[in-house]
Amino acid sequence: MQNSPQPNHTHGNRFALPRRKLLQAGLTGFTTLSMADVFRLQAATRADTVSPRTAVIMVWLRGGASHLETFDPKPQAPSEFRGPYSAIDTNVAGIQICELLPSLAKIADKYAILRSIAHTGGGHPAGSLQVLGGDPDSQDKVTPKLPDWMSVASFVRQDSIRSLPNYVAINPVDRYDSFTIAGPTYLGPSHAPFAIVGDPSNPAFEVPNVGLAPDRRERLGRRMQLKSGFDNLRRDLDTSGTLTAIDQFEAQALGLLTSPNAGEAFDLRKESTSVRERYGMNAWGQQLLMARRLVEAGVEIIATEFDGPLCGRVQNWDDHSVNQHVFDAYKFRTPVFDQAVSALIEDIYARGLDQRVLVVVAGEFGRTPRISYVASSGGGVASGPAGTVQPGRDHWPRANSMLFAGGGIRTGQVIGATDARGEDPIDRRVGTGDFLATIYKHLGIDYERLAIADFAGRPVPILNSGAPIPELQRTTV
């Protein structure tokens, strides 16, 4: 009994070849293809059944954006809570957002705002793990215990015949300082994303290992023919069929290098100058343009993080007064944010992707409604010189806002409400389990019954609690 295979707890509860046995096969394969090992491992854990090919683009605001300076302004709050910015009307009667987001205000009919999500993770790691993976623990962890929803979706929906990876991270959502805030954990590295780093707006930017030039494809083909002769000998000795299956995943890795379609999907130079400028000729704008290109090419899980120099001095949304002047930071970053996100949403609808693709804009928590004043630890963009007392907002998991667009949902609506100060939900409180169930529902993943074996072989449900947010369910079949 000790040597019996462990079941793979997917939709079909099928037996899968354990990753260890794939590794013990002693097959180094075509070692110049680093992606091949990834696709081989995915064979061991792929689900039998996949859902219709819906997709998600998640825009992650690392550090936690202020709901009051974005989608839940409180212009009538007392002065110790109210910031300097007004609320403005949108193109949907009764919906107002912060005046810093004029482009988004013009297209409120194309998205829904959730104003009542709350949880207990007050630190960046804990908050991120709750939102991204459903870990209920309020304490920070150095590494996650549970896989994030992107990795789960990669696990369930992997298709070995694809020429493009099914989970791509453009400026990956993975770390906060020394903490890992997302990852596949016991699903294994085969379900981590195909990661793209660097600034896509840089003229010299390239995605490595995608789309070889024709002459290099020819040389690669000759090397593969030589290699296949050795593999045929080993295949004659193989009685399990493992080598035949492995060939498929090595071919997928080769396809990523040689497929003209794969190369084009990542190539922003294929877009017109006017389209690129509509998104913004900066890192965030071009990240979202690449996300649109990839999802149009068939990639189904795309995560992209908004951080770096476009955020201000500390390069994230963590606007403690010790870090930077919160209101100067929003004045600096929101024009770029507003332009990029509104361009993506408009493009999703204009190109007929709105029924299939769900766009989510989220962070780990909101910010304290009460403004704090502390001396700056250093000067820079959106921060006074060291010692300057300036306003800030601190961590606030008790209330936050998220934006949803596309996905066949009813748009032009606000879900939930917070009190007059923005401190707590007073209508339609939503938990992180509900958020994750909504994502899984859109992707056709059985969040109620699906369990996946952990490192010890124990089946772990992908979601312990929560139900899809009714207002965000698909309105068309």
* pLDDT, tens digit, 9 for 90 and up, residues 419-474: 999 999 999 999 999 999 999 999 999 999 999 999 999 999 999 999 999 999 99
Per DSSP bridges, beta strands 167-170 and 301-306 are parallel
Return the C-alpha torsion angle 244, 246, 248, 253, nearest 10: -150
- Tell me whether residue 119 is exposed, middle or buried, using C-beta atoms within 10 angstroms of its C-beta: 0 to 12, 13 to 18, 19 or more: buried
Distance CA 367, CA 304 (A): 21
Per DSSP bridges, beta strands 389-392 and 372-375 are antiparallel
State the alpha helices, DSSP H only, in 158-314.
214-237, 242-258, 260-266, 273-279, 283-296
Is residue 193 within 8 Å of 172, Cβ to Cβ? yes
Return the C-alpha torsion angle 380, 383, 384, 387, nearest 10: -100
Q: For residue 167, what are its two tokens? A: 């989970």
Nearest to 382 by CA among 327, 339, 336: 327
Distance CA 120, CA 461 (A): 21
pLDDT at 217: 43
pLDDT at 256: 60
The pLDDT tens digits for 155-182 are: 999 876 777 889 999 999 999 999 999 9
Asked if pLDDT for residue 388 goes beyond 90, the answer is yes
The pLDDT tens digits for 233-264 are: 444 544 444 444 444 445 555 556 556 677 78
Q: For residue 118, what are its two tokens? A: 């709350």
Q: By three-state DSSP, how is residue 293 classified? A: helix
Distance CA 361, CA 354 (A): 15
Is residue 434 within 8 Å of 466, Cβ to Cβ? yes
